[in-house]
Amino acid sequence: MNKPANWKIADTRYVGCIDIMGFKDLVARKSHGDVYEMMLRVSKAVESIASLLKNFHSDREDDVAVTLYSDSILVYSKDASYDSREIFVATIANLTNALFKERVPFKGAVAFGEMTLDFANSIFFGQPLIDAHLMQEELSYYGVVVHATAENEKGHNIDEDYAIIEYNTPFKSGTAKHLTIMPGITFIETFEEHILNEVYDNVLRMRFNTSGPLRKYIDNTLAYLDHIEEYGQKVLKANQPEKP
């Protein structure tokens, strides 16, 4: 995707880390060609976000950068401004939806803090990248969770955004309430049930290629989507005009 040249090299920003699940095992078990085909699907999902930003947010597409490296998709906001945060969350929401459409299993997390992005010299480091990477490793569902650094940062609270919902998130060691970024679902005006149904169907299709302990990721993801639907129905009901 884009590699903006007008960003500060070091700035306080949001960082998203989305890892493709089972990549190392896939490389070991499948042919090089099969792995390449899967990575083409991942690349297609990333490129779909570039097209989305260009078509609908052409004046703000420079507020976010997405890079693909090996089995990781990294998403960066330009800075800590409201505009950058908004487009960052929208990018994560639509990217995860695109990955579901391509039937690519993934886990992700977002964090906040000082991050160095030197695209010219390929130097990338910062605590939020570490925080996001470590947190996504502990997830036990297909989705994106919000790290405490992004959840509680004064003046930059990510839960003000429209694609965020709190959930009793499944981790390898148990469950804990965290904010999550929903896949393609927004409550900015109303709840669009047909979008959720598409996500649900795509997750069900992923079940056909999953067996054994990994099935828990599918089950946990479907339970998460059920929770979104329940919440969405409440939003619909709340937005219905009162009868005279």
Using alpha carbons, select from 133, 102, 95, 122 the residue that is nearest to residue 39: 102
- Please, which pLDDT band fits residue 26 given cuts at 50, 70 and 90? low
Using alpha carbons, select from 33, 15, 32 the residue that is nearest to residue 125: 15
Superfamily (CATH) of domain 10-239: Nucleotide cyclase, GGDEF domain (3.30.70.1230)
Q: Nearest 10 degrees: CA dihedral of 72, 223, 149, 14?
A: 40
The structural domains of the chain, with segments of one domain joined by +, span 10-239
Summarize pLDDT for 175-203 with one digit per residue, the tens. 999 999 999 877 666 677 888 899 999 99
pLDDT at 155 over 70: no
Burial of 163 (0-12, 13-18, 19+ CB in 10 A): buried
Specify the length of the chain in residues: 244
Share of the chain above pLDDT 70, in %: 82
Structure tokens at 103: 């039937």
- Residue 156 or residue 227, greater confidence: 227
Share of the chain above pLDDT 90, in %: 42
